[in-house]
């Protein structure tokens, strides 16, 4: 930790000091949305220059790292793994992305977000050194690269026993892949996402994810589509990697308890986390055998970790702060076709398990990035819900409040009119939704623009509405007290985080 007079020292107790750090971080953002073209130096080898500048080569090489890539379930698998090893008595560091409300969520020490004081001290330590050394040949790192470097600095300085690192995007040229000697690697379920960067086939995507494999380092994955599995096996063979497939966790092994993260799909992630944890324990000399019997019993510490793990915004139910008994938000940041189906399955089951005696209605609150295809996402969502007998009374489309060019914006003083932005994308989502729900007769041209009580415009069609801001949509949801409203919030983790800011205590 830096002291007054040393490089990196800032008066960390004040709110303004934290805002100053957020402004500095925001300056590293290279584009306002994923649809924007990048005009920035993305040479991967620059990461090794940054590591040298921050004198992190030796600390990273000595760190006992678990490295996890994948399309779906990366964060959940990492959280399960961290909780298991923390309950085994180890000092843990966890790096995940994205954050929902505060950037410090990305850096967990012993299961807790890093404190503001520690965050600021390590932030400015890294920032000042990079600012001093970077220039025309070596530009300042982009936002995610800086955050990954910061994670390595935090975990090295805090002397964690284990660092669990979640890949940000892909794997092969991800910022976290400066790790050369991890203890074990994991690949979670693969699917189609970030295709504009990773490729349009499962084979190409799997090849990028397998880029985290290191020679001779054991790796685990889960059941994968054949095309993806073939590539993973080939990459593993080339690097003498012992690649094994982790089994789905049998619920009976939890002794009547439930996983800390909701959803049937989490048993796949938990099974992978068990193998990553057991292998780490074995390779670091803390377990005589790397074999954990998943057929008859689990160690008590594993069960406690799995059943107490928590991760915001994934299959999470929170009551509205103003109307807790009659307005419930079901949050899940699903944004790929596969995860949309999983999300719909979880939501449908959760709705049916709700034992309220009051009549209920289901509402969809949705947004997604413009690089996503609603023609694929919506049918997966609707078909799965319909198969469970769940039908949305309305779909609401809103722009996110979070902006791409600012880190750490606060919503504590938001007014509904603060967030009027271009909603042309939301109108496009509405047209697709109406066409799918109504078939050939779906016609948004017949929709009408109406004014609410405060004079704000709302575009209303037969089955959907577009609000100009999220606060206005929340306000509308709160007005109907006649029924219990169950709102599925999905399509974007940014949207999930924005909703949490507005409706959570």
- Nearest C-alpha neighbor of 205 from the set 69, 335, 370, 337: 69
Same-domain status, 290 and 347: no
- Please write the tens of the pLDDT for every residue from 439-455: 755 556 667 777 666 66
Q: Does residue 116 surpass a pLDDT of 50?
A: yes
Same-domain status, 227 and 354: no
Same-domain status, 238 and 384: no
Same-domain status, 233 and 302: yes
pLDDT at 396: 97
Confidence of residue 69 (pLDDT cuts 50, 70, 90): very high
pLDDT at 410: 45
Comparison of pLDDT for 49 and 193, the residue scoring more: 49
Same-domain status, 266 and 121: yes
pLDDT at 364: 98
Task: Read off the tokens for 427.
Answer: 């109108």
Same-domain status, 48 and 184: yes
- Please write the tens of the pLDDT for every residue from 339-373: 999 999 999 999 998 888 788 999 999 999 988 99
- Strand order across the beta sheet in which 484-490 lies: 316-319, 327-331, 484-490, 360-366, 392-397, 464-467, 457-460, 448-451
Task: Count how many Cα atoms sit within 13 Å of the Cα of residue 172 in the half-sphere of its side chain.
Answer: 14
Rg for the chain (alpha carbons), in Å? 23
- Please write the tens of the pLDDT for every residue from 223-239: 999 999 999 999 999 99
- Strand order across the beta sheet in which 92-95 lies: 112-113, 107-109, 92-95, 162-166, 65-69, 184-187, 219-221, 243-245
Confidence of residue 214 (pLDDT cuts 50, 70, 90): very high
Helix (H/G/I), strand (E/B), else coil: 120: helix
Same-domain status, 262 and 373: no
Query: Tokens 């959280």 map to which residue?
Result: 79
Query: Tokens 């060019």 map to which residue?
Result: 405
pLDDT at 39: 42
Name the strand (E) or helix (H) holding 17.
helix 15-26
Phi-psi region of 462 (alpha: psi -120 to 50; beta: other; left: phi over 0): alpha
Q: How far apart are CA 205 and CA 198, in angstroms?
A: 5
Give the whole-number percent of the chain exceeding pLDDT 70: 86
pLDDT at 38: 46
Which range of residues forms the domain containing residue 281? 15-32+41-308
Residue where a domain terminates, one of 256, 279, 308: 308
- Please write the tens of the pLDDT for every residue from 179-210: 999 999 999 999 887 666 676 799 999 999 99
Q: Residues 329, 499: contact at Cβ < 8 Å?
A: yes
Q: What is the pLDDT averaged over residues 166-172? A: 93
pLDDT at 9: 53
Confidence of residue 43 (pLDDT cuts 50, 70, 90): confident
Q: Does residue 330 surpass a pLDDT of 70?
A: yes
CATH code: domain of residue 338: 3.90.190.20
Same-domain status, 119 and 224: yes
Q: Does residue 41 surpass a pLDDT of 60?
A: no
Burial class for 381, CB neighbours closer than 10 Å (0-12, 13-18, 19+):
buried
Residue at 4 is within a domain = no
Q: Residues 38, 31: contact at Cβ < 8 Å?
A: yes
Q: What is the pLDDT averaged over residues 461-473? A: 93
Residue at 267 is within a domain = yes
Confidence of residue 10 (pLDDT cuts 50, 70, 90): low
Residue at 8 is within a domain = no
Same-domain status, 292 and 328: no
Q: How far apart are CA 316 and CA 64, in angstroms?
A: 31
Q: Does residue 21 surpass a pLDDT of 90?
A: yes
- Nearest C-alpha neighbor of 397 from the set 438, 425, 422: 425
Q: Are strands 219-221 and 243-245 parallel, antiparallel or unpaired?
A: parallel
| Exposure letters 389-414 (e unless 16+ CB within 10 A, then b) | ebebebbbbbbbbbbbeebbeebeeb
Q: Residues 206, 240: contact at Cβ < 8 Å?
A: no
Comparison of pLDDT for 443 and 256, the residue scoring more: 256
Q: Does residue 417 surpass a pLDDT of 50?
A: no
Residue at 448 is within a domain = yes
Q: How far apart are CA 12 and CA 30, in angstroms?
A: 27
Residue at 403 is within a domain = yes
Phi, psi (degrees; rounded to nearest 5) at 142: -70, 170
Q: What is the pLDDT averaged over residues 59-81? A: 97
Query: Mean pLDDT across the chain, nearest whole number?
Result: 88
pLDDT at 87: 98
pLDDT at 194: 62
pLDDT at 492: 92
pLDDT at 446: 64
pLDDT at 227: 95
Residue where a domain terminates, one of 253, 278, 308: 308
Q: How far apart are CA 22 and CA 409, in angstroms?
A: 8
pLDDT at 65: 98
Q: How many domains does the chain have?
A: 2
Q: Residues 272, 166: contact at Cβ < 8 Å?
A: no
Q: How far apart are CA 387 and CA 435, in angstroms?
A: 20
Phi-psi region of 110 (alpha: psi -120 to 50; beta: other; left: phi over 0): left
Name residues whose C-beta falls within 8 Å of residue 364's C-beta, 6 or more positions apart in sequence.
Answer: 381, 392, 394, 395, 396, 487, 488, 490
Residue where a domain terminates, one of 308, 340, 358: 308
- Nearest C-alpha neighbor of 459 from the set 431, 439, 432: 431
Residue at 3 is within a domain = no
Comparison of pLDDT for 321 and 402, the residue scoring more: 321
Residue at 9 is within a domain = no
CATH code: domain of residue 50: 3.40.1190.10
Confidence of residue 458 (pLDDT cuts 50, 70, 90): confident
Q: How far apart are CA 302 and CA 304, in angstroms?
A: 5
Same-domain status, 263 and 373: no
Q: What is the pLDDT averaged over residues 135-156? A: 96
Confidence of residue 456 (pLDDT cuts 50, 70, 90): confident
Name residues whose C-beta falls within 8 Å of residue 477's C-beta, 6 or more positions apart in sequence.
Answer: 320, 327, 363, 365, 396, 485, 487
């Amino acid at each position: 930790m830096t002291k007054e007079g040393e490089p990196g020292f800032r008066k960390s107790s004040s709110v303004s000091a934290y805002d100053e750090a957020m402004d500095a971080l925001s300056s590293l953002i290279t584009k306002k949305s994923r649809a924007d073209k990048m005009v920035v130096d993305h040479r991967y080898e620059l990461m090794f220059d940054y590591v040298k500048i921050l004198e992190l080569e030796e600390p990273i090489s000595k760190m006992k790292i678990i490295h996890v890539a994948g399309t779906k379930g990366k964060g959940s698998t990492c959280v399960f793994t961290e909780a298991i090893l923390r309950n085994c008595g180890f000092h843990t560091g966890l790096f995940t992305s994205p954050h929902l409300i505060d950037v410090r969520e990305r850096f967990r020490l012993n299961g807790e977000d890093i404190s503001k004081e520690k965050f600021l001290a390590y932030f400015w330590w890294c920032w000042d050194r990079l600012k001093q050394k970077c220039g025309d040949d070596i530009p300042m790192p982009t936002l995610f690269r800086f955050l990954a470097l910061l994670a390595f600095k935090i975990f090295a300085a805090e002397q964690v026993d284990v660092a669990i690192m979640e890949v940000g995007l892909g794997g092969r040229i991800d910022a976290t892949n400066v790790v050369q000697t991890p203890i074990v690697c994991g690949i979670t379920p693969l699917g189609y996402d970030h295709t504009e960067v990773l490729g349009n086939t499962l084979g190409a995507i799997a090849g990028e994810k397998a880029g985290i494999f290191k020679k001779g380092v054991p790796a685990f994955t889960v059941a994968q589509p054949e095309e993806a599995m073939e590539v993973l096996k080939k990459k593993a063979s080339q690097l003498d990697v012992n690649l094994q497939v982790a089994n789905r966790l049998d619920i009976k092994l939890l002794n009547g308890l439930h996983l800390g993260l909701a959803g049937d799909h989490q048993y796949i992630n938990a099974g992978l986390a068990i193998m990553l944890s057991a292998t780490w324990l074995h390779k670091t000399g803390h377990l005589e055998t790397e074999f954990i019997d998943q057929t008859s019993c689990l160690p008590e510490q594993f069960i406690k970790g799995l059943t107490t793990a928590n991760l915001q915004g994934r299959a999470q139910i929170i009551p509205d702060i103003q109307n807790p008994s009659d307005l419930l938000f079901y949050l899940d940041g699903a944004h790929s076709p596969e995860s949309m189906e999983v999300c719909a399955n979880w939501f449908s089951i959760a709705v049916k398990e709700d034992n309220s005696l009051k009549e209920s209605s289901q509402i969809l609150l949705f947004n997604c990035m413009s690089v996503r295809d609603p023609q694929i996402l919506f049918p997966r969502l609707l078909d799965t819900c319909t198969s469970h007998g769940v039908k949305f009374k309305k779909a609401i489309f809103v722009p996110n409040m979070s902006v791409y060019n600012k880190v750490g914006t606060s919503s504590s003083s938001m007014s509904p009119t603060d967030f009027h932005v271009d909603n042309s994308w939301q109108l496009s989502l509405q047209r697709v939704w109406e066409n799918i729900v109504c078939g050939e007769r779906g016609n948004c041209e017949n929709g009408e623009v109406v004014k609410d009580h405060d004079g704000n415009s709302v575009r209303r069609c037969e089955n959907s509405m577009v609000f100009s801001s999220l606060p206005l949509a929340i306000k509308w949801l709160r007005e109907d007290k006649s029924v219990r409203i169950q709102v599925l919030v999905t399509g974007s983790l940014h949207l999930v985080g924005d909703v949490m800011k507005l409706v959570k205590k």
